[in-house]
Amino acid sequence: MKSLVLAIYSDRRVRYLVIGGGAFSVELVVLFSAQAAGAPGTLAVAISFIVGTAVSFLLQKVIAFKDKRFHKKIVLSQVFLYAALVAFNFAFTVLVVWLLEGYFPVALIRTAALAITVIWNYYLYKTWIFNRDSQA
């Protein structure tokens, strides 16, 4: 068991996916809770997206990409870059939900949108946002 955990922890892609899966689990709990409270699908997705994104940023930075730099200039730069990516992902996700909500369950639409953003997010985190070489 210990060797399995070490193998998982040693691969950045696996850490990224495990953390992303955990953040997505948080999103789903918030999504279903918001819908149970009467929120329309688009609002429920918006709320869950924001909560999941906050959890994901911190864990992706520190655990997945092992970026433990917390100097003000670096963190502000990362927050700015991350916020720009989040804004794009948010608009993309809400647009997809708005277009497809009448045809598919909201959780399924959110899952499909997330699968798409996972791919481009990993690349941008690795090469741009949490790249320790480019923001020294």
Instruction: Give tens-digit pLDDT for 32-41.
Output: 999 999 999 9
Spell out, as residue ranges, where the chain has pLDDT lower than 50: 135-136
In angstroms, the Cα distances linking 133 to 115, 118, 136 are: 28, 22, 6
Whole-prediction pTM value? 0.71
